[in-house]
Amino acid sequence: MKSHHKYYKFISTLFVVLPTTFVISVFSFLSKGISIENRMCEFFKSWFFSIPVAYLCVLLLLPLANTITNRILKK
């Protein structure tokens, strides 16, 4: 059920971006050799900087992806 609320698109995008960036940050964090005392700080810094990047990418690329998908499925 899609709502026609003014901010629906932005809130929905946020709920996709937050867990996605969290998972990416976890894998990035685990692949680095970070000392024990800096782990949490580095993890949250990585997550904090990846959220706006992912959010903008989703907002910009999702309409394009929907258009391409609709064109493919109509054929």
Per-residue pLDDT of 25-74, as tens digits, reads: 887 777 776 666 777 787 788 888 888 888 888 888 888 888 888 888 88
Which pLDDT score is estimated for 35? 66
Helix axes 39-74, 8-31, angle to 10 degrees: 130
Tokens of 65: 């992806």
| Contact predicate 20/54, CB 8 Å | yes
Residue 3: pLDDT above 60?
no
Q: What are phi and psi of 36, to 5 degrees?
A: -60, -40
Residue 1: pLDDT above 50?
no
pLDDT band at 2 (very low <50, low <70, confident <90, very high): low
Domain boundaries, the chain: 8-74
Which pLDDT score is estimated for 34? 61
Give the C-alpha separation, 25 to 28, whole Å.
5
Q: pTM for the whole thing?
A: 0.62
